[in-house]
Amino acid sequence: MVIKDPEVAKLFADSVRRSILHNLRHREMSPYQLAKALGKSVSSIVHHINALEKAGLVEQSETRVRGNLIERYYRATAKVFIISYTLSEGLVPGSEDIAKWSKAICRRAVSRLEAFGYHIPPGEEEKWFNLIERYAALGKKAFEDVISRQVSPVNIKGPSLQLLLDLLAHVQLHRNPEYLELVEEISEMLRQAETEAAKAKVSTGGR
């Protein structure tokens, strides 16, 4: 499902709602089961499920009667949710907060490059941010284009579906000259950042 409504997309900013959707993508669960799995109160889970159901992201799948209790079970309405690149780039009125969220994710990614052995010299963070933001935008657009091409039920799920979508999206990206040029630039900058990290390690005596 491609999310194009900014009000629906905002629901994904909440970590509890993302966790609920993650669980319900894989199996049907009741609010009680979700509350136990996520360490939350049942009333809190019900509140989140009501918001997700109203947005069309989850649906009631079954009702079970156990004595005097009625248990409602829910499932996600899609196996994969994609927030449209038009929202991530703030191109739709009302999507400004989503665009800020997307930018924050890219900035955090830049700040974690050091953990993988890449040293970002002071003053170059903004250049890295712009590259990663472009990379993320192209990836989202390709993924969205692939999903939009679906004309019949896929009839697979989980890792198999993810693998298929990743394959088709990467093929589409490799047909895009802008993407190839961008990846080459990122690759070269990573080589330089790796060299800088090695120099920094030598200068500090390997500490």
Please report the pLDDT score of residue 204 as a whole number.
65
Instruction: Indicate the class that CATH gives domain 2-76.
Output: mainly alpha
- The Cα 182–Cα 185 span in angstroms is 5
Contact (Cβ atoms closer than 8 angstroms) between residue 187 and residue 135 = no
Percent of the chain topping pLDDT 70: 98
Token pair in block for residue 167: 């394959």
| Other Cβ atoms within 10 Å of 108 Cβ, number | 10
pLDDT in tens, 60-87: 998 888 778 888 999 999 888 888 888 8
CATH number among 1.10.20, 2.60.40, 1.10.287, 1.25.40, domain 84-203: 1.10.20
Domain locations in the chain as residue ranges:
2-76, 84-203
pTM of the model: 0.73
Domains 2-76 and 84-203 belong to one CATH topology: no
